[in-house]
Chains A and B, each alone.
Chain A
């Protein structure tokens, strides 16, 4: 059986420009871990290198995760529509006030993806043109996908006026 996937590798020019990247491969998928300060530069270089599609931006909260040393793991899933390669870029962030420069200037489609991550995890994307909540109501104050947020909330779902027959 032949391997249908292109051989995972980081483009040569990227590997030369960003020394000391942590590159690993697992089941045909390449993963790059980059410090937060270099993330924007690396992602912009990858965009110029042909990774023209930002598939998703999401996040993992590693609070109390076995063996984890950093709290938040941002995930950028990139794809090259021309070459067919895929690439995962990870950026690890910590409390308090995790923040990272936005990539909306690189991929305009990142706008809502980053708004969702801000809404759910409270990662602040600096330079984002419109960093509002995407899913939760505007008046919501918590970031519900953080692991220290209780599953049943902190009473938000009960905080509404009660309408009775008299007020109909």
Chain B
């Protein structure tokens, strides 16, 4: 069936169009805790000019953002804050782990520093460097744009990282009793509730009394 279209009409898929809009209007949420944050500021400033890639609108409210840039080390006291901000961001959303500390803990292999935020929140892009130069962060944003064009969807549901993350969760549980009181951590409690809802095969003794 041939369809007659005027020359000034372009046909696309809605998915493609939505992805094209999203990748060219990323609104970053700066989670800058250390020296990487300085490079993040330089990236947004006039010399490197992140506006060329449509991502210059830094917002400090997670409700307005769709790209979290974690720049710097995250200590264990800060991690519940990071997770709460991540949960407050609307779908679709992405995360860049900027620098060695955010990605792996860097040189701070101590009791207080989280050894890579990807243990606890999903990460789309890793930027190596200590700290990375603005060009590297811009490259990560360009790569993320390609990823959004290729993978992003309306709902963001099929990212399906639960199976991959389950392995890490098992590792955490295998570590056994630790110094942190899970009963007083609201994020832990919420996670336990989710885990109980999602696994009907779990023995009934583990479920809370009704």
Interface residues of A (CB under 8 A from B): 136-142, 144, 149-168
Contacts and interface: CB of A to CB of B under 8 A. Distances in A.
B86 A160 contact: no
A162 B191 CA distance: 8
Interface of A is mostly: loop
Nearest to A163: B121
Given A157-B76, A162-B169, A139 B184 contact: yes
A98 to B, nearest CB: 19
Interface of B: 76-77, 79-80, 83, 86-87, 89, 91, 93, 109-115, 119-122, 156-157, 159-162, 165, 168-169, 171-172, 175-176, 178-182, 184-185, 187-188, 190-192, 194
Contacts of B91: 168
A152 to B, nearest CB: 6
A151 B110 contact: yes
A37 B12 CA distance: 83
B159 A159 contact: no
Chain A CB count within 10 A is highest, among B83, B112, B188, for B112
Contacts of A136: 77, 112
Contacts of A141: 179-181
A157 to B, nearest CB: 5
A26 B144 CA distance: 60
Contact of A168 (B76, B156, B172, B180): B156
Contact of B80 (A160, A164, A165): A160
Nearest to A138: B184
A157 B112 contact: yes
Contacts of A165: 122, 156-157, 159-162
Contacts of B180: 137, 139-141, 156, 159
Contacts of A158: 115, 119, 171-172, 175, 178
A160 B79 contact: yes
Contacts of B184: 138-139
Given A136-B112, A137-B76, A155-B175, A161 B191 contact: yes
Contact of B185 (A139, A144, A167, A168): A139
Contact of A167 (B109, B113, B178, B194): B194
A156 B83 contact: no
Contact of A166 (B160, B171, B179): B160
Given A158-B172, A158-B178, 5 more contacts: A136-B112, A152-B110, A154-B179, A157-B115, A160-B187
Contact of B172 (A144, A151, A162): A162
A7 B205 CA distance: 73
A156 B169 contact: no
B181 A139 contact: yes
Nearest to A150: B111
Contacts of B80: 160
B178 A154 contact: yes
